[in-house]
A = this chain, B = another copy of it.
Amino acid sequence: MKTVLIKGGTVVTQNAKREVLQGDVLIEDGRIAQVGKVRGSADEVIDAAGDVVMPGLVNAHTHVAMTLMKGIADDMPFGDFLDRVFAADAHREERDLELGTKLGCLEMIRSGTTTFVDMYYSEDVIAKAVEQAGLRGVLCWAVLDQRFTTQKGVPLDNCKRFFHSHRGREKVIPGIGLQGVYVCSEETFMASREFALEKGLLLHFHLSETRKEVYDHKASTGRRPAEWLERIGFLGRQCLAAHSAWLTINEVRALARAGASIASCPVSNMKLATGGVAPIPEMLAEGVNVSLGTDGSTTNNSLDMFGEMKTLSLLQKCSRWDPTVAKAQQVLDFATVNGAKAIGLGHELGSIEAGKRADVIILDGKSPNLRPLLPGNVVSNVVYSANAGNVRTSICGGQVLMRDRQVLTLHEGEVLMAAESTALELLARR
């Protein structure tokens, strides 16, 4: 694999000291070999003078194939939203899953995400597109009770089959995607956990997104979802709970005790008006690992982690009447080091340090919205001032996915054209 040298940028390292330094980044064999003043050259040299060099962002919760269904169900009551999305979802075919995934991967590459956590069925189809795109995907096959699914066969068996056929790859990492307490029995949760522990897989699941989910579960089991998951013995370090908005402090403590992670999805929660605001300050105080996700494009309607970082901070500050919560540095941590930790790869990803995998993005510093770039405001500018359009170059595992805003791994024009016609066909099938 060729060596890459990124010369002379402002490097937001996200190392333990959270250093921001002027210097170079040398990439060898897909990993970061050196950070600081690098002597010598490399096969590919990228001039980053005046630019911001930072870790690729980790989108800790999405449904990438749904990118094709952007804008089909906005501004409507939650029930109508679900009906419309499920109606389209039930008629999907391999071709539109592939194109939805490619479209989403293009959007992620352009907006600085290098790793994402996906939850959907047909992750085998998704995996093919993700590998072409060159992104790192933790692909969690959707698992739920058989009576609730349109999947052929037993969902957990399908998930296991996907694991066995895709294990050991670098960029596609199979995981388990439990849809939620409303469609997963105790047996489904615990059988999934057993498989996850045996194979070292991520247990990703929706948790307490809506109030209805919480109170329905309490009515049927006597416990709120996170209490119940602790009680049945499900919670553990391998857990990544999406949303986690409607939690009591006792549930936050249960997640902390288990060493679990959460993926907050503020834009999706706000847009669907699900009411709950994830109790981020309490999570941090209790020691829950907080990461950040966009959710799918039918709810957001984008995969833009820069927008997501800013919105998380705004929502926390606004709902707490406290401008000091969800500080810029914390929010950047959610989208980088904490995201890496959430998927069990904290030692491999999330920061620019020698030895880690080279997931690096470069923001065009010659953008007025990022200027002035002063000692002291770099992280603030990244979180509060940057937008997806500032990303000029994206590198994942040493592979340059986009250089100077040209995507190198997928044929963008063809994907956009095909996505358009396929979306029309999908909506017509509905």
Contact = CB atoms under 8 A, between A and B. Distances in A.
Contact of A387 (B381, B387, B416): B387
A373 B427 CA distance: 13
A399 B329 CA distance: 41
Interface in A313-341: 313-315, 317-318, 320-324, 327-328
B71 A381 contact: yes
A70 B385 contact: yes
B267 A314 contact: yes
Number of this chain's copies in the assembly equals 2
A273 B323 contact: yes
B371 A420 contact: yes
A16 B271 CA distance: 27
A111 B368 CA distance: 10
B385 A77 contact: no
A301 B110 contact: no
Q: Indicate the size class of the contact surface on chain A.
A: 35 or more
B77 A324 contact: yes
A276 B321 CA distance: 9
Contacts of A423: 372, 374
Contact of A367 (B71, B110, B420): B110
A307 interface: yes
A131 interface: no
B74 A328 contact: yes
Interface in A256-311: 267, 269-273, 275, 277, 297, 300-304, 306-307, 310-311
26 contacts: A70-B377, A71-B385, A72-B376, A74-B380, A74-B384, A75-B328, A103-B371, A107-B369, A110-B367, A270-B317, A271-B313, A271-B323, A273-B318, A273-B320, A273-B322, A273-B323, A301-B384, A302-B369, A302-B384, A302-B385, A307-B307, A368-B415, A368-B416, A372-B424, A374-B423, A387-B387
